[in-house]
Amino acid sequence: MPKEKTAKSNYFEIIMDIFSKKLYFMNTSNTPKILYANPVFLDYRLPFYKYLNELFQGNFYVLYSVNRYHRPGFEHLLFKIQDVMGNNAIPYEGELVYDTFTKKINEFAPEQGGKKIPIAKGLFSLIRKQKADIIISEGFFQWTPLLVLYTFFTRKPLYIGYERTMHTERNAGWIKVLHRKLTDYFVTGYLVNGSETVKYLKSIGVNDEKIHIGGMNADSEGLVSAIAQMTDKDKKKLKKEYQQTQGLLFYFRDKWLREKELSTFFRHGLSM
């Protein structure tokens, strides 16, 4: 079973282990250049990326799609990404994305509905221009097929950040599963968020040694800061509002999780 570590230390140790074995590298610097190709992400990832860039001595880069942020609630992140990551944020501006919900290109549903099908013109050249030593992608679709092609020809290691589980993938069709099994042949390893994701990857034939727990992370920095600003009066008011006078009060807030999925989550958690 893969050992659990903090997300930050796990990324750093995995990648530096590869570097120490002198595999795949073209750069002569002491620290490898990392390219995390993530089409779109929210602000909770930024403290994580910032810290990783510090660990890799300024050699951690994030590639993202500008067009995916042109929708309500996302626009401000374009400024925030640049503010936090500076020159280590690499904007990709040429992407066309077909949204199956709106049935239009580069016009997205306000929520997370619909599939996003990328038409990534110019992305291969942009990735090649970065001359990264190690590539990290998100999931099996979106930019991953292109990254598989790039790393195959350049002999660079490819890692996938992954967080799906047996439950979320219970209705995955055989074509999707077959695609994931074929992709696995070209993937160096997986950076996952916990044991449930490990179970799913192993169920589709992924070798246990390729799975590394601790590769996903939330904005603990922002959460700690928000909690610290709560006074005892605020905490008592919150408990009173939910009729909780003693014991622990779990306050759950999520933007995307549906009510049905939430009830399943609690049933599973309480039965453990």
In a domain, 2, yes or no: no
Residue among 178, 133, 142, 175 at smallest CA distance from 160: 142
- Which has the higher per-residue pLDDT, 268 or 11? 11
If one counts the domains in the chain, the total is: 2
Q: Rounded distance, CA 219 to CA 80, Å?
A: 14
- Which has the higher per-residue pLDDT, 7 or 225? 225
- Collapsing DSSP states into helix, strand and coil, what is residue 102? coil
Answer yes or no: pTM beyond 0.95: no
In a domain, 228, yes or no: no
Within this chain, do residues 100 and 197 fall inside the same structural domain, yes or no? yes
DSSP for residue 186? T
pLDDT digit string, tens, across residues 94-111: 899 998 888 888 888 766
In a domain, 70, yes or no: yes
Please determine, for residue 218, whether its predicted confidence score (pLDDT) is greater than 60.
no
- Collapsing DSSP states into helix, strand and coil, what is residue 27? coil
The model's confidence at residue 35, banded by pLDDT at 50, 70 and 90, is very high
DSSP H helices, the chain, are 7-20, 46-55, 75-85, 123-130, 144-154, 174-184, 195-203, 220-228, 232-241, 259-271
Considering 97-101, 247-251, 252-256, 265-269, the range whose residues carry the highest mean pLDDT is 97-101
pLDDT digit string, tens, across residues 135-184: 999 999 999 999 999 999 999 999 999 989 998 899 999 999 999 999 99
259: containing domain = 234-271
Number of residues written out for the chain: 272
Within this chain, do residues 85 and 188 fall inside the same structural domain, yes or no? yes
- Comparing 4-13, 109-118, 226-235, which segment has the lowest mean pLDDT? 4-13
Within this chain, do residues 55 and 144 fall inside the same structural domain, yes or no? yes
Q: Rounded distance, CA 202 to CA 79, Å?
A: 39
Q: What is the mean pLDDT of residues 75-93?
A: 95
Residue among 72, 121, 112 at smallest CA distance from 92: 121
The model's confidence at residue 85, banded by pLDDT at 50, 70 and 90, is very high
In a domain, 229, yes or no: no
Which amino acid type is present at position 239? Answer: K
